Amino acid sequence: MEKKALITNDAVVLGILMLILAFVFYTAGSKGSFWSKFYKIIPSILLCYFIPSLLNTLNVISGDTSSLYPIASRYFLPASLVLLTIGIDIPALRKLGGKALIMFFAGTLGVMIGGPLALFAIGSFYPDALSYNGEPTWHGFSTIAGSWIGGGANQTAMKETFKTTDNLFAQMVAVDVLVANVWMGLLLYGTQHREKINRWLRADNSAILDLEKKMETIELTSEVKKRGTREWMVLCGIAFGVTGLCHFAADHIAPFFATIPKAKEFSLDSKFFWIIVLATTCGLLLSFTRARKLEGTGASDVGTVFLYFLVATIGMGMDLGAVLDNPIYFVIGGIWIIIHIIVLLIVAKIIRAPYFFVAVGSQANIGGAASAPIVAAAFNKYLAPVGVLLAVLGYAVGTYGAYAAAQAMRVIHGILQ
């Protein structure tokens, strides 16, 4: 019998999450010697999702029964994307060059080859890992490939394509969430040591530094602008107004593409896909208008608040105790992500890509549109749109990449059986 969480009222859960965020941000800004030393070791954003995950693991709250994540991902995420992209400098982004795309596709390649290699490595000496209640486990691992290259829409596409049973799918969701969140935590931890990592990679970080300075100038030169209730209400009005329009459009666009046979392969029948794409596009279009000046009234600050609320709800869905169920699947997931990392580092070494491209390129695959901006913002809040743009690209290639990885895993399964 499934245990019921101690607290199930979402109003109470919301209060707990906001108190956690308030505590983290208050202490992170404290001048006290203890907190100053503490946050040099533990990034504040890491606590914003690990504390909720701990409460979920201890069954104090439940990410499974709460409706806060759907609200955060469907409402606050697109609103955040609008506010974070509204002040973006497109010409400056173009100066990033091809390394961003190279690292993104290196991450995709790492996922595509990592799954089959991990399944072969474990299945060779532990044949039980190849099946789950009589069903080939590669059916389930194909859904992880869909999630780690694209996102939820691609993951669902793989589940339906290979008719993965609900029980196996639930196991894979646990592997997906736990391994992906642990890796995200390590990426965030690495942001505190980016200079050392860049030196090890022999990376040229000048393009990113130039972009940071240029985009920060937008806010610095706008400090005299008033920031109050009127300005924040305008920001929220634009953010949620655009979000509402995106939902309205997605409600019509997704069903239209659902009638086209090949559209599902591109996740074009997913409402969430269109909401994210349209919100990002609207924000980028607004950046070419006078609305770009809204950055001076705190657009990215409000967007960042929305983003951290999403961080807390993501953490709330992570069960640290899930590793105890079928741990061999988590071992496969761990090897899989290690191969993904190795591919990233090899390519980064060759092209001398800075850690920013490594981290964001990886998270754009593994985490998608919900978390790639978080990792990018950990470097600088103005760089969040880079994560968004790369993550949206993942939706386009996710189904194809996951399908190819699934076929490779099916071959591995046949060889080892």
Interval 138-159 mean pLDDT = 84
Q: What's the full length of the chain, in residues? A: 417
> Residue 1: is its pLDDT beyond 50?
no
Interval 76-89 mean pLDDT = 81
- Confidence bin at 359 (pLDDT 50/70/90): very high
Amino acid 96: pLDDT: 61
Question: Which segment of 32-36, 102-106, 342-346 scores lowest on mean pLDDT?
Answer: 32-36
> Residue 93: is its pLDDT beyond 80?
no
Amino acid 317: pLDDT: 79
Amino acid 396: pLDDT: 66
With pLDDT > 70 as the criterion, what percentage of the chain qualifies? 90
- How confident is the model over 313-355, as pLDDT tens digits? 878 877 777 656 788 999 999 999 999 999 999 999 999 988 9
> Residue 387: is its pLDDT beyond 60?
yes
Specify the higher pLDDT residue, 211 or 2: 211
Amino acid 65: pLDDT: 87
Interval 232-245 mean pLDDT = 94
Specify the higher pLDDT residue, 280 or 399: 280
Interval 207-224 mean pLDDT = 62
Block residue for tokens 């992570």: 318
Amino acid 24: pLDDT: 92
Q: Where are the domains of the chain?
A: 68-416
- How confident is the model over 154-213, as pLDDT tens digits? 787 788 778 788 778 878 888 888 888 889 888 988 888 888 998 898 887 777 777 677
Interval 43-64 mean pLDDT = 85
Amino acid 216: pLDDT: 66
Average pLDDT, the chain: 84
Question: Which segment of 140-144, 224-228, 376-380 scores lowest on mean pLDDT?
Answer: 224-228
Amino acid 345: pLDDT: 95
Interval 395-412 mean pLDDT = 85
Amino acid 211: pLDDT: 66
8 Å CB contact between 124 and 416: yes
Interval 135-153 mean pLDDT = 87
- How confident is the model over 290-313, as pLDDT tens digits? 888 887 788 888 888 888 898 888
Among candidate residues 77, 81, 57, the one with its CA nearest the CA of residue 69: 77
Among candidate residues 365, 372, 367, the one with its CA nearest the CA of residue 386: 372
